[in-house]
Amino acid sequence: MGRPSVRSSSHCPRHTRIPSHCADGRKVILYRLLGDSPDPSNDRKIASDTASANGDAYMWSTGNTGQRHGKFYARVKRTDFCAADLSPVVRAQP
């Protein structure tokens, strides 16, 4: 899968486009980073969505998560045909 990414909208991390053949119907989980580096087993799960077609790419959106401060990243789990991946970490701030 093309690497998932997180973009903040109105200072709130919540959505992105995923350009990949592995994205259709893929569950994307948004986490708040609690330590120095991404660790889904210890970081706080904020929200999730399923990627769906939007033009030439795929998009997911969690809506307004209410999370205005902190560092966030997205994760997709491995499937039978696609590898697991993490997005780069982004900082949300008012």
pLDDT tens digits along 19-69 = 467 778 888 899 999 999 999 999 999 988 888 887 777 787 777 777 667
Question: What confidence category does residue 9 fall into, taking pLDDT thresholds of 50, 70 and 90?
Answer: very low
The CATH number of domain 7-92, selected from 2.60.40.3720, 2.40.37.10, 3.90.1200.10, 3.30.1600.10: 2.60.40.3720
Rg of the chain (C-alpha set): 12
pLDDT at 83: 82
- The C-alpha atoms of residue 35 and residue 24 are separated, in whole angstroms, by 31
**CA 78, chain centre distance (Å):** 14
